[in-house]
């Protein structure tokens, strides 16, 4: 009897143990890349996501810029979180985000001038991205510097992955190429990175037009939901929980 009591106490103690720092980082990573992906779940920042993602180089460039802004703003906001009054925190957060965006905008204009001209207004519009202000308010202002940086990195990475995937889909279907003009981002070393799937491919105009962006994003969201449902059913089967099936409707004459 005493052994059973000791075993139960030990199990309870282990289950109530606080998570390690690495476990917290893993949770943040999973949240940013999958469970709370800003593009597929939260559906934030859709304006630049849909407008810019007509090829890989545009999506990757804007994704890297957004990721860098998230890292800078999350880090700075976490550092000053104890020194800013709650009454003025939103204006302060916006000022920090605007400063980070201005730095990125000027650097891209100086070193990636052609790409900067193609992306145009969508680089300054990063300031209005709800995903960045949302992470600043919901997470960075309430957590330590290391967690805020990890959150900013993986939230930005999750957003960038969706941009690249959507850009790759639209570029392949619309133009029959992949990594076209990637040298504008990586320099002369990437001049031969472009992949041409067919020499006489005419392309599908719908894919590179705005409707193609909505259709592509819808397909990505549907794929994620299907994968989540499949994983949930597998977990229920492993635990012996019966999967609920909608009842069949009988038609009577």
Local structure of 143: helix, strand or coil: coil
pTM for this prediction: 0.86
Digit-coded pLDDT (tens) for 110-137: 999 999 999 999 999 999 898 999 999 9
Share of the chain above pLDDT 90, in %: 74
- Among candidates 211, 160, 135, which has minimal Cα distance to 39? 160
The pLDDT score that the predictor gives to residue 97 is 96
The pLDDT tens digits of the residues spanning 55-91 come to 999 999 999 999 999 999 999 999 999 999 989 999 9
DSSP state of 19: P
**Phi, psi for residue 144 in degrees, rounded to 5:** -70, 170
User: Tokens standing for 158?
Assistant: 């999750």
The closest of 62, 60, 59 to 124, measured between CA atoms, is 62
pLDDT tens digits along 142-157: 999 999 999 999 999 9
Closest CA to 147 of 64, 28, 7: 28
Q: Where are the beta strands (DSSP E) in the chain?
A: 177-178, 195-196
Residue among 159, 147, 135, 141 at smallest CA distance from 23: 147
Contact 132, 70 (CB under 8 A): yes
Task: Report the mean per-residue pLDDT for the chain.
Answer: 88
Site of tokens 């909505």: 214
Q: Look at phi and psi of residue 139 and say left if phi exceeds 0, alpha if psi is from -120 to 50, else beta.
A: alpha
Q: Contact 40/224 with Cβ under 8 angstroms?
A: yes
**Residue 220: its pLDDT value, please?**
96
Position 244 scores a pLDDT of 59
Angle, helices 130-138 vs 56-79, to 10°: value is 30
Give residue 131's region: left, alpha or beta (phi > 0; psi -120 to 50).
Answer: alpha
Cα three-residue angle 232-238-239, rounded to 5 degrees: 90
Residues 131 and 139: their CA atoms lie apart, in Å, by: 11
Q: How many CB atoms lie within 10 A of CB 174?
A: 19
What is the distance between the alpha carbons of residues 235 and 103, in angstroms, rounded to a whole number?
46
Task: Check residue 242 and give its pLDDT.
Answer: 66
């Amino acid at each position: 009897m005493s052994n059973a009591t000791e075993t139960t106490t030990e199990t309870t103690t282990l289950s109530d143990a606080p998570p390690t720092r690495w476990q917290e980082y893993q949770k943040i990573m999973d949240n940013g890349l999958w469970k709370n992906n800003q593009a597929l779940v939260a559906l934030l920042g859709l304006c630049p996501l849909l407008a810019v993602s007509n090829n890989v180089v545009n999506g990757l460039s804007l994704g890297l810029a957004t990721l860098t802004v998230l890292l800078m703003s999350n880090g700075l906001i976490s550092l000053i979180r104890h020194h800013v009054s709650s009454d003025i925190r939103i204006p302060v957060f916006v000022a920090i985000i605007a400063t980070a965006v201005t730095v990125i905008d000027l650097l891209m204009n100086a070193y990636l001038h052609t790409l900067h001209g193609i992306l145009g207004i969508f680089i300054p519009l990063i300031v209005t991205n709800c995903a960045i202000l949302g992470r600043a308010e919901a997470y960075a202002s309430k957590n330590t510097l290391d967690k805020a940086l990890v959150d900013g990195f993986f939230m930005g990475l999750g957003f960038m992955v969706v941009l690249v995937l959507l850009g790759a889909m639209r570029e392949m279907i619309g133009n029959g190429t992949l990594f076209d003009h990637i040298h504008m981002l990586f320099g002369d070393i990437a001049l031969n990175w472009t992949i041409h799937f067919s020499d006489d491919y005419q392309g599908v105009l719908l894919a590179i037009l705005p409707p193609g962006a909505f259709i592509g994003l819808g397909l990505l969201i549907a794929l994620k939901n299907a994968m989540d449902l499949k994983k949930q059913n597998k977990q229920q089967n492993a635990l012996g929980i019966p999967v609920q099936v909608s009842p069949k409707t009988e038609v009577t004459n």
